[in-house]
Amino acid sequence: MPPSILLDGNSLTRDQVAAIAHGGVRVELDAKQLARVQRAADFLAEKVRCGEPIYGVTTGFGSNADKLLGAHRVRDELPGGNPHALDESRRNETLLEELQHNLVITHAVCVGEPFDASVVRAMLAIRINTLMRGHSGIRVSTLQALAELLNRGVIPVIPQKGSVGASGDLAPLSHLAIVLLGGGEAFFDGERMSGAQALARAGLAPIKLSFKEGLALNNGTTQMLATAALALQRLGELLDTADLAAAMTLDAFAGRSGALREEVHALRPHPGQVATAAHVRQLVDGSTLVDIAYHLVPRFRTWSAEAWSDAEDQKLGFDIAWDWVPPSQRHGREAFYSRFLPFKGGKKHQPQDAYCLRCMPQVHGAVRDAYAQACRVIDIELNAVTDNPLIFPDAPDAQAIEEQVISAGHFHGMPLALAMSYVKAAIPVLASISERRLNKLVDPATNDGLPAFLIGNEDATDSGFMIVQYTAAAIVNDLATRAHPASVYSVPTSANAEDHVSMGANEARHVLDMTDDLAHVLALELYTAAQALDYRQDMLNAARRLAERGDWRALAAKIANAPDTTHPSRTQFEQEVQALAASLAQAADFHAGAAVRDMHAQIRERIAFMARDRAMDGDVKAMCEWMAQRLSA
């Protein structure tokens, strides 16, 4: 038997929802809580027998709440019978049963492509869990039937669009519930078929609904909660991935770590910011690139036949170069040149990096804080009761039915909607700063000495990674245009009985979809950063090997503006080149941090370094598919 998760209405977690959603996990129902479920159902049945007026049980729904149900159908009294009588299979239904049945079959009106099976499994688990609280009036047998749908692999077809997020996710949950009745459609063993066929194939029989069961099944925040929970599971992974992509880019730039220091963030201790800085520090730990001395870093120069004298170096796809800073240009900068040798290569002589690198703790951290707030809301909602009315069979000192069956508004999705609006605005922010880092890597004006578009291009035929940035830019723009919060635009429904709705289902669905595009942008940054890191490490290590051979004149040949042998400063130049050679020769192997090296190795297992232009569609597809696998793992 596959592993199982016990649902008790009180302890469901996001990780458990994700495990159930991705398949291979059964659910079991807690026996103690089932007793509470049955107590509420028995209480409700007793009140119905006593003739008590109860919303949604002995009255209509929504704007029909002022209509009490009678003992029999009005049209049955017509001479000659009722031309609109129910079919034979439902002829013996009471009006109370017909009310629940009709609630489900008339509300299943969503449109669009069906939700992925993972979303539907999450919805089933969440709906079962909230009903396990014992405040909804559903019978144990009906709840067990719902659990069997999940355990036997019956996946109701639920089109994605149709919920306004109050009263709950009525329409999509009706698509879920209608399969229990033998209606609608479902997937079984990957095949789409009628609900009746799916039940039969799974060895299940349709059920008939009793008091309030239709309302218990379709009244709640289940769709928005399922999509939100799965979106947050993905976003949590993507936040770590964004930090890793940023760390690889920082290593590829041979950037500065001061903006990551613990004492810096203690002065502005937003939790996400502090966590991001700590995480990136960990990721670049062991790097010999971060905080490297300026003078050690050469800049790219196009390869030529004369670039290297050593046969092994001739195989390199680049040349390297520095500029010498003559004494006449050092006035007022004596303190700097007492620390660093007077050579300009790939690193600008400035102590701070661009915002996309220096401010990653603030930007990534703010997104982490939005994520944490949404997690707090979703964790509460996973074990909340969200239908209406609420049943309190054991309410102490209750004097009237209204004190035991209470109409409230827990179905309203605004807590989730606003939390997901926050996340929805944050996703383009994370994608945008990733695209800015990618752009900085490919732009020769900003990439600190790396080749333009990260390609050697000695024959002027190669575009390299130029258009990768276009794709990232297009995705970022698309994400930004989708970031408008749905929660701020209520459209009243049910003849204004539901005069303020949350639109939380749209909000959470948008966020789940947007995580795919965020993953694509981060995949493109990692793809690009891996290429840049190879160039940075190879250029530095080529310079180190050149210095290790002990011929400082070979290194002097890499100084683009070296003075000729008759120049008055030639002697000083030669002394300083020898100092540069000694500094390079004494350096250890140049490499990224341990975690960055591990990610780089994983990328290179899938995609080779690109020395010359090649078809890149396969590379991009491989990166995006790998990212998708990481999210679903």
HSE, CB side, 13 Å, CA atoms: give it for residue 421. 15
Name the one residue in this structure whose structure tokens are 């000495």.
449
List average pLDDT for each run of 10 residues in the chain, which is 633 residues long. Answer: 93 97 95 96 88 80 72 64 64 79 94 97 98 95 98 98 91 98 97 98 96 92 98 98 98 97 98 98 98 96 91 91 95 92 92 94 98 98 93 82 87 95 98 98 97 95 97 98 91 83 94 98 98 98 94 94 93 97 96 98 97 97 95 80
In the structure encoding, which two tokens stand for residue 620, read together? 């991009």
Closest CA to 329 of 565, 581, 572: 572
Could you tell me the pTM of the whole model? 0.94
Coil, strand, or helix at residue 124? helix
In the structure encoding, which two tokens stand for residue 414, read together? 């605004």
Closest CA to 569 of 330, 326, 344, 337: 326
Q: How far apart are CA 212 and CA 388, in angstroms?
A: 9
Burial class from Cβ neighbours inside 10 Å (0-12, 13-18, 19+) for residue 31 reads: exposed
Burial class from Cβ neighbours inside 10 Å (0-12, 13-18, 19+) for residue 140 reads: middle
For residue 245, the one-letter residue type is A
The DSSP output letter for 213 is H
Is it true that 4-220 and 232-373+405-491+500-632 share their CATH fold? no
pLDDT at 402: 81
pLDDT at 129: 98
In the structure encoding, which two tokens stand for residue 361, read together? 């703790």
Alpha-carbon distances, residue 202 vs 125, 158, 283, 319, 424 (angstroms): 18, 19, 48, 67, 38
Q: How far apart are CA 598 and CA 592, in angstroms?
A: 9
The DSSP output letter for 68 is B
The set of residues, in sequence order, having a beta carbon less than 8 Å from that of 125 and lying 6+ positions away, is: 5, 7, 12, 16, 17, 20, 21, 27, 150
Q: How far apart are CA 593 and CA 281, in angstroms?
A: 9
* Domain boundaries of the chain, sorted by first residue: 4-220, 232-373+405-491+500-632
Q: Under a CB-based contact definition with an 8 Å cutoff, are residues 348 and 440 in contact?
A: no
- Report the b/e string of 300-317 with b at 16+ CB within 10 A: bbbbeeebbeeeeeeebb
Q: Under a CB-based contact definition with an 8 Å cutoff, are residues 126 and 223 in contact?
A: no
Q: How far apart are CA 63 and CA 268, in angstroms?
A: 52
pLDDT at 190: 94
Alpha-carbon distances, residue 312 vs 19, 316, 578 (angstroms): 52, 8, 23
In the structure encoding, which two tokens stand for residue 222, read together? 């289940």
Fold of the CATH domain 232-373+405-491+500-632: Fumarase C; Chain A, domain 2 (1.20.200)
Q: How far apart are CA 184 and CA 195, in angstroms?
A: 5
First to last CA, the chain: 21
- Report the b/e string of 181-199 with b at 16+ CB within 10 A: bbbbbbbbeeeebebbebb
Q: Under a CB-based contact definition with an 8 Å cutoff, are residues 523 and 238 in contact?
A: no
Q: Is the peptide bond before 389 cis (omega within 30 degrees of 0)?
A: yes
DSSP letters, 249-261, are HHHHHT---GGG-
In the structure encoding, which two tokens stand for residue 265, read together? 């963030």
Q: How far apart are CA 494 and CA 163, in angstroms?
A: 13
Q: Under a CB-based contact definition with an 8 Å cutoff, are residues 304 and 319 in contact?
A: yes
Coil, strand, or helix at residue 572? helix
Q: Which numeric CATH code is attached to 4-220? A: 1.10.275.10
Q: How far apart are CA 101 and CA 104, in angstroms?
A: 6
In the structure encoding, which two tokens stand for residue 200, read together? 């039969």
pLDDT at 568: 92
* 248 alpha-carbon distance from chain centroid: 20
| H-assigned helices in 284-399 | 334-339, 355-358, 360-381
pLDDT at 186: 98
H or E segment at 400?
none
Alpha-carbon distances, residue 186 vs 2, 174, 175 (angstroms): 22, 13, 9
pLDDT at 492: 86
Burial class from Cβ neighbours inside 10 Å (0-12, 13-18, 19+) for residue 493 reads: middle
Q: How far apart are CA 35 and CA 73, in angstroms?
A: 34
Q: How far apart are CA 41 and CA 131, in angstroms?
A: 11
With both helix axes pointing from N to C terminus, report the angle between 360-381 and 414-442 in degrees, rounded to the nearest 10: 150
The set of residues, in sequence order, having a beta carbon less than 8 Å from that of 198 and lying 6+ positions away, is: 154, 179, 185, 186, 187, 188
Q: Under a CB-based contact definition with an 8 Å cutoff, are residues 479 and 517 in contact?
A: yes
pLDDT at 567: 93
Q: Would you name the residues annotated as active-site residues?
A: 55
